[in-house]
């Protein structure tokens, strides 16, 4: 009788523990060791000299070399974005070379007047990269051109006909054809006229 009562008491106790959730035979509690030190975090802030876009510019272009006419644009730099500064171009010190991932060599160039350099940064002078080769000029297939563009019939240029030769008048020298000198003839006529005038005067008296 006493043994049966003790078994019932243990049954009631186990049943109450299961109801209250204090005992779960399917779970085994394992104590794990917690780390005592701090875990380092990786930050995206570059170390060393950096460049940043000046105020008022939402974005600027990044070029493949120090020049907007000699080199193509390869990307952009947004406002507030930092980029590691690597050097200045030799002979073009207003252009700054930066680390720009995602392009061949991870190198890009920005114009110095559009960015601000970290205070006290001294950048080395680097050589200018070679300019890219010019793209080949595409040619038009002559057969395709003839199919869409009509061929112009060449016109013959007018021939030049020389003018007939000019008839130049010829003049004869009178001094060579006259047998009597011209001066003597004039003097003779003057004398005859004088004598005629004298005779007419005498007859009139």
Higher pLDDT, 23 or 130: 130
Percentage with pLDDT > 90 across the chain: 21
> Residue 169 pLDDT > 50, yes or no?
yes
* Most confident range, picked from 17-21, 53-57, 109-113, 144-148: 109-113
- Name the least confident of 90-99, 117-126, 129-138, 193-202: 129-138
Query: Is residue 53 within 8 Å of residue 115, measured between CB atoms?
Result: yes
pTM (whole model) above 0.75:
no
> Residue 29 pLDDT > 50, yes or no?
no
Q: What span, in angstroms and rounded, lies between the C-alpha atoms of 189 and 192?
A: 5
Query: Is residue 87 within 8 Å of residue 123, measured between CB atoms?
Result: yes
Percentage with pLDDT > 70 across the chain: 65
| Residues facing residue 62 across a β-bridge | 75
């Amino acid at each position: 009788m006493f043994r049966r009562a003790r078994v019932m008491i243990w049954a009631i106790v186990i049943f109450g523990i299961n109801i209250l959730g204090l005992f779960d035979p399917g779970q085994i509690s394992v104590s794990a060791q917690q780390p005592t030190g701090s875990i380092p975090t990786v930050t995206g802030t570059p170390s060393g000299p950096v460049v940043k876009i000046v105020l008022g510019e939402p974005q600027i272009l990044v070029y493949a070399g120090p020049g907007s006419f000699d080199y193509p644009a390869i990307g952009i730099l947004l406002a507030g974005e930092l980029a590691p500064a690597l050097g200045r171009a030799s002979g073009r010190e207003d252009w700054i070379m930066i680390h720009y991932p995602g392009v061949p060599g991870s190198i890009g160039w920005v114009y110095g007047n559009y960015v601000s350099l970290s205070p006290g940064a001294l950048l080395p002078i680097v050589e200018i990269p070679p300019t890219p080769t010019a793209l080949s000029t595409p040619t038009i297939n002559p057969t395709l051109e003839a199919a869409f563009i009509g061929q112009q019939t060449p016109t013959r240029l007018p021939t030049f006909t020389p003018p007939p030769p000019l008839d130049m008048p010829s003049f004869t020298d009178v001094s060579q054809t006259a047998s009597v000198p011209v001066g003597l003839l004039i003097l003779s006529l003057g004398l005859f006229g004088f004598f005629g005038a004298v005779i007419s005067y005498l007859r009139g008296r």
